[in-house]
Amino acid sequence: MDTLYITGAGVSAESGIPTFRGEDGYWTIGSRNYTPQEMATRAMYSQDPVQFLSWYYKRFAAYRNHGPNVVHHWLKDKNLITQNIDGLDGKAGNENYIAVHGRLDQMTLFHNQGEEVEVIDTPWDDVVENRLAESLLELFNINSDTKSPELNISLKPYVLLFDEYYTELYRISEAQDRMWKADKIIFIGTSFSVNITQMAFETAIQRSIPIEVVDPEPVNLPYANVIYHAMPASEYINNQ
């Protein structure tokens, strides 16, 4: 059986990385003037790159040295699509997983969506915290006078933002192909609040294939062919 695994932030929680919508989650912690949904946008990066990059650095890059947990290692040889941008599945050894929302340990040219660009590693360790704003502008090649990112000159975190859409940079066609070829889809640690999970769920319904949902508080789905595992991912894999 060709099983497709789709993972969310709950998988990385056991590596000490906060989930997005939990009590202390990323999407509950904004900035002084903006909500997370306003911060994590292409528009914010364009108008205030220092605040945008500082927010990402403090919320996400601070966890860049965290390691994979037992669930990531269990998934290392699985057919996997993850919503997570922490790169832990790659650290665990999965060489062909799809990070459909990007990876914060990588970056690209700041480009018009849909254009082909190279993905390169982000040298977060070069950031100097006691001169954070200036250091981030340098790292992402943003003019220190204008403080505005320039298309095809400046760099941008390799992360799909709220006001962006899935493109081939994020391997969306391959992700959809994996959904259509799967005999079963197992969702682990996701709240079903992003487009990729909805896409996979609708594909499963169209193809009448079984679904499993692994989460301490699983979302109730309007579909008969679902098995729920109300438990952490680490407990689930111990039962397999």
Note the Cα 220 to chain centre separation in Å. 23
Domain positions in the chain: 1-17+68-101+166-240
The region of weakest confidence among 56-65, 79-88, 145-154, 192-201 is: 56-65
CA distances from 5 to 71, 137, 147 (A): 12, 37, 41
The CA-based dihedral angle spanning residues 206, 211, 214, 218, taken in that order and rounded to the nearest 10 degrees: 60
Topology of the domain comprising 1-17+68-101+166-240? Rossmann fold (3.40.50)
Convert the pLDDT of each residue in 74-110 to its tens digit.
Answer: 999 999 999 999 999 999 999 999 999 999 899 999 9
Listed in sequence order, the residues at least 6 apart from 65 whose beta carbon sits closer than 8 Å to its beta carbon are none
Type and span of the H or E element at 79: strand 79-82
